Amino acid sequence: MSTTDHPTTGRTTASAPWGATVLGYPRTGPRREAKKALEALWAGRADVAATEEALAAVRARTLRRLNALGLHAHDASIPSAASSYDHVLDAAVTLGAVPPRFADVVGPDGRVDVAGRSTIARGRGADAPLEMTKWFDTNYHYLVPEIGPDTAFRFADDSSVREFSEALADGFLTRPVLVGPLTFLLLSKPVDGAPAGFRPLDRLDDLLPAYADLLAAHAAAGATWVQLDEPALVSDSATAGVADLPGLVRRTYERLVALPQRPQLLVAAPYGDLGELLEPLARTGVEGIGLDLVRGRLPEVDADAGLREALRGTLVVGGVVDGRNVWAGDLPRALASLRALEGSAAHVAAGTSTSLLHVPHDVADEPQLDERLRSWLAFADQKVAEVVVLGRALRDEASVADALAASARVRADRAGAPGVVRPEVRERLAALTPEAFRRSDYAVRRSAQEEVLGLPLLPTTSIGSFPQTREIRAARAAHARGELSTQAYEEFLRAEVDRVVALQEDLGFDVLVHGEPERNDMVQYFAEHLDGFAVTRNGWVQSYGSRCVRPPILFGDVVRPEPITVRWAQHAQSRTAKPVKGMLTGPVTILAWSFVRDDQPLGETARQVALALRDEVADLEAAGTRVVQVDEPALRELLPLREADQGAYLEWSVGSFRLATAGAADATQVHTHLCYSEFGEVIDAIDGLDADVTSIEAARSRMEVVPDLARQGFARGIGPGVYDIHSPRVPGEEEVADLLRLAVAAVPARQVWVNPDCGLKTRGYAEVEPALRALVEAARTVRAELDGHDGSHGRAVGAGGRAG
């Protein structure tokens, strides 16, 4: 280990010991061992001790694996970044921020075991769980800590120290990974009943002593480095309202740097561009900084003497290997970026842009994939190997010349492979005119739709899926195993559709759905039916807690070989005179929940998917479908973290939705569904989608979003959810009616639709049937009230001359 004088502190600090590292590694285990352990605990099949043992085995395997892949065992280049449920929950527990309603799960020693963490994450009877929300622009969900003026911060739970010591005893000197103090507070929300204007960040001075104790404990246990993750610093929305962000960064880290007993600090800023904050952070004297050089820009050290001076002697982990996607990296290019950083006289190490939490474990687990496609891929294990090669290259490029050349060959092979570029797709996109993105004026569409649909005021509908029963899952699994013939499986599905249609007729719905029994997942289903996508067998990625998803891989130009949903829509429509909605997943959501090719702009890929969907819409219309819904629940998720990038995103994302839907005839009613209620940043985009009807989540927030949309001048159909499907609770008719009264007080009744918050697939019929009955009854009640005292509300969107 060499030593340098830090330019700011003047202190002699140990410099970069490692040449390569990763910011984190998948936590589920290659066969989802951690998920299975948690679920065994929840099902009562395992006790706490057995569960913690199973989780420890996953951690031990990770250490060995990372070491075998080339990360050094004794220099802190291997992160200790496990979590039994969620790392933000871990931070809350570590720092004593357990909500009072869960105080009993904290042990006398301050520890919260895996059962206690599960309780906080999942709730218990009347004790609501911590709210869950998306982690930056990823499909991972974290638990939102609740911080109040009285939260008693302290270094309470020492699990992270014990895990470090356990690894050390096992022969690995690791680098513990913790959520940094700024990100912890910026991602928290005020407790219910906190004084107006209170922000969790107001508590920073009280929080830092808990970090001081935590860091001291790690140092005492022998940790030489700790990684503090500060992704909030790359997000404009996370830091909105902070007056002097550079000053805040400076004050916070100067205090941590000045602590008498602490490990060296690597402050990582994954998921985006640290921008202007890099220099103040470097000047605090933290020993290391992790930069995301995939999403973030390469700092211009050549042009900026101040920055060069600030970085001198700092360890910069250049996050050149993409932690969020599955493509083998362009190593020569990555190396060039690292070399550019070396110009700043920083110690440069090769790293990942983010934790590898967002990618599956190992490409070798996918023997069924086309061999050529497989050679283009890098999952977590392959990415570890990439940072190791780059780390060696920094020291001795000749020693890895073969690996660098092989990387260049792979990229070239991919570019020229069949299916990656299809001229017919490119030509069709190039020939599009602005008309392809535009429908007639809404007024024209509305009267055409009223004529065709003849709907009452406050029309009732649902979001698409009906409960995915045990029988449906069993039939799908049997079909996948080859035990149930395709013919028998499809017969089963048709019978299921018949049942769901009959139920909706019986309940009195106005616009019906077929129930989506044929879909395992709203994105994977389309990926399986479009060319240009591949699906994996073991490519699981944690979405939250024990929930894992298997995102498809979008590798080539997108083509729809044949209609996908038409026969299901047609079959459902043949069973009823009421309109049945055709049900599609939108281009942005298909991109958001897939691993997307990185060799062309996202907008271009989105337009290719949109064209395939546009053809599907046309085929649905030709088959007699009068209402088509295109779901875009991920529209907000992909919103760039930096405001400066948001305009361009909204342009292509809204454009791709319009390209998918604008081929529809005036009389075809286009619906969309968005899965959340906080619109703030995307409210204009919702208008821009130009859907005839937009359904959104609203039950929990008691229709809060409806007046917001009204203020915005939103004039088309809107279906604020009146049944919270995220809870097993069955709402009563009066409760639903009250929500509807709030909605019609905020916008003209003719705009209002009546529907649940989201699809019903995770619920059981025992709850869904009475809830939907209440929903239809409530619509009738409020309809009658409106007819009774005020005819001026007019007719529903799509009402054919009848008003209720």
Give me the residues that bind Zn ion (CB under 5 A), please. Answer: 633, 675, 758
Among 759, 774, 796, 799, the residue binding ligand GLN under the rule CB under 6 A is: 759
Q: How far is the CB of 77 from ligand GLN (least distance, A)?
A: 39
By a kind-dependent CB cut-off of 5 to 8 A, residue 761 interacts, out of Zn ion, ligand GLN, none, with ligand GLN
> Is residue 638 within the footprint of ligand GLN (CB under 6 A)?
no
Per-residue x/- marks for ligand GLN, 270-309, CB under 6 A?
----------------------------------------
Q: Does 581 bind ligand GLN (CB under 6 A)?
A: no
Nearer to ligand GLN, 59 or 673 (CB): 673
* Cα dihedral across residues 443, 444, 448, 451: positive or negative: positive
Q: Which is nearer to ligand GLN, 484 or 588 (CB)?
A: 588
For 296, what's the count of Cα atoms within 13 Å in the CB-facing half-sphere? 31
Answer yes or no whether residue 464 interacts with ligand GLN by CB under 6 A.
yes
Q: Which stretch binds ligand GLN (CB under 6 A): 453-461, 637-645, 753-761, 794-802?
A: 753-761
The option from ligand GLN, Zn ion, none interacting with 394 (CB < 5 to 8 A, set by class) reads none
Shortest Å, Cβ 522 to ligand GLN: 5
Q: Which does 288 bind (CB under 5 to 8 A by kind): Zn ion, ligand GLN, none?
A: none
Of 97 and 500, which has the nearer Cβ to ligand GLN?
A: 500
Output 257 or 588, the one with its CB closest to Zn ion: 588
Judge whether 694 and 674 are in contact, CB under 8 Å: yes
Of 49-57, 376-384, 458-466, 526-534, the window that binds ligand GLN (rule: CB under 6 A) is: 458-466
Q: Which residues contact 211 (CB under 8 A, 6 or more apart)?
A: 95, 155, 181, 256
Alpha carbons 173 and 75: distance in angstroms, whole number: 6
Give 93 or 686: the residue with its C-beta nearer to Zn ion: 686
Q: Decide if residue 392 touches ligand GLN (CB under 6 A).
A: no
**Residue 114 C-beta: closest distance to ligand GLN, Å:** 29
Catalytic residue flag (residue 726) = yes
Q: Does 761 bind ligand GLN (CB under 6 A)?
A: yes
Judged by CB, which is closer to Zn ion: 263, or 633? 633
Do residues 514 and 580 lie in contact, with contact meaning Cβ atoms separated by under 8 Å? yes
Beta-carbon contacts of 199 under 8 Å, excluding residues fewer than 6 positions away, are 190, 241
Q: In what helix (H) or strand (E) does residue 371 lie, and over which residues does it extend?
A: helix 371-375
The one among 350, 463, 705, 706 contacting ligand GLN by CB under 6 A: 463
- In the complex, minimum distance from the CB of residue 434 to Zn ion, in angstroms, rounded to a whole number: 31
Is-contact 685 645, C-beta < 8 A? Answer: no
Site for ligand GLN contains 675 (CB under 6 A): yes
695 phi, psi to nearest 5 deg: -100, 140
Cα dihedral sign, 351-353-356-362:
negative
**Which candidate, 648, 651, 667, places its Cα nearest to that of 659?**
651
Residue 179, classed as helix, strand or coil, is: strand
Residue closer to ligand GLN by CB (options 463, 718) is 463
Please say whether the dihedral angle defined by the alpha carbons of residues 81, 86, 87 and 90, taken in this order, is positive or negative: negative
> Which member of 6, 87, 726, 789 is catalytic?
726
Q: Which of 631, 637, 767, 777 binds ligand GLN (CB under 6 A)?
A: 631
Q: Which residue lies nearer to ligand GLN by CB, 456 or 467? A: 467
Instruction: Tell me whether residue 270 or residue 633 sits nearer to ligand GLN (CB atom).
Output: 633
DSSP structural state of residue 276: G
Binding partner of residue 583 among Zn ion, ligand GLN, none, CB cut-off 5 to 8 Å per kind: ligand GLN
631 binds, among ligand GLN, Zn ion, none (CB under 5 to 8 A by kind): ligand GLN
Angle at 414 between CA 363 and CA 392, to 5 degrees: 60
Q: What is the DSSP letter of 600?
A: S
Contacts of 383 (CB under 8 A, 6+ apart): 22, 321, 322, 323, 329, 352, 356, 359
CB of 513 to ligand GLN, least distance (A): 8
Count of Cβ atoms closer than 10 Å to residue 795 Cβ: 19
* CA–CA distances in Å: residue 440 to residues 437, 445, 663: 10, 7, 10
Pick the closer one to Zn ion by CB: 546 or 694: 694
**Phi, psi dihedrals of residue 356, rounded to the nearest 5°:** -85, 10
List the x/- string, 31-70, binding to ligand GLN by CB under 6 A.
----------------------------------------
Q: DSSP states of 721-767 as a string?
A: --S-TTSSPPPPHHHHHHHHHHHHHHS-GGGB-B--SS--TTS-HHH
Instruction: Decide if 536 contacts 595 (C-beta within 8 A).
Output: no
Q: Which is nearer to Zn ion, 55 or 635 (CB)?
A: 635
Q: Which stretch binds ligand GLN (CB under 6 A): 150-158, 377-385, 460-468, 540-548?
A: 460-468
Terminal-to-terminal C-alpha distance of the chain: 79
Gyration radius (Cα) of the chain, Å: 27
The entry of ligand GLN, Zn ion, none near residue 359 (CB within 5 to 8 angstroms by kind) is none
- Taking the least distance from each CB to ligand GLN, the nearer of 114 and 522 is 522
656 to each of 257, 295, 306, 470, 610, how far by Cα in Å? 48, 22, 43, 36, 6
- Give which of ligand GLN, Zn ion, none residue 510 binds (C-beta under 5 to 8 Å, depending on kind): none
Q: Which of 24, 299, 633, 798 binds ligand GLN (CB under 6 A)?
A: 633
Judged by beta carbon, residue 457 or residue 463, the one nearer ligand GLN is 463
Closest distance of CB 465 from Zn ion, Å: 9
Residues 6+ apart with CB under 8 A from 406: none
750 binds, among ligand GLN, Zn ion, none (CB under 5 to 8 A by kind): none
Question: At residue 133, what are phi and psi to the nearest 5 degrees?
Answer: -150, 170
The strand pair at 189-190 and 553-559 is best described as: unpaired
Size of the site for ligand GLN (CB under 6 A): 13
C-beta of 725: minimal distance to Zn ion in Å? 8
Of these, 235, 337, 465, 625, which contacts ligand GLN (CB under 6 A)? 465
Q: Is position 758 an interface residue for ligand GLN (rule: CB under 6 A)?
A: yes
Single out the segment in contact with ligand GLN by CB under 6 A; choices: 369-377, 401-409, 715-723, 756-764: 756-764
Least distance CB 462 / ligand GLN (angstroms)? 7
- Token pair recorded at residue 617: 């819409």
* Torsion of Cα atoms, 592 then 598 then 601 then 607, to 10°: -50
* Min dist. Cβ of residue 129 to Zn ion (A): 19
State the nearest-atom distance from the C-beta of 587 to ligand GLN, in Å: 14
Q: How far is the CB of 730 from ligand GLN (least distance, A)?
A: 18
Q: What residues numbered 478-537 form the site for ligand GLN, per CB under 6 A?
A: 516, 522
**With contact defined as beta carbons under 8 Å apart, do 39 and 546 qualify?**
yes
In whole angstroms, the minimum distance from the beta carbon of 782 to ligand GLN comes to 24
Q: Which residue has the CB atom at the shortest distance from ligand GLN? A: 759
Task: Report yes or no: 381 and 362 within 8 Å, Cβ to Cβ.
Answer: yes
Q: Please, what is the minimum distance in Å from the beta carbon of residue 550 to ligand GLN?
A: 16
Dist. CA 224–CA 443, nearest whole Å: 67
Task: List CB contacts of 365: < 8 A, sequence separation 6 or more.
Answer: 30, 537, 538, 539
Alpha-carbon gap, residue 630 to 647, rounded angstroms: 22
How far is the C-alpha of 122 from the C-alpha of 727, rounded, in Å? 11
Q: CA 134, 136, 138, 140 torsion: positive or negative?
A: negative
Task: Using CB under 6 A, list all residues that contact ligand GLN.
Answer: 463-465, 516, 522, 583, 631, 633, 673, 675, 758-759, 761
**Residues with catalytic roles:** 726
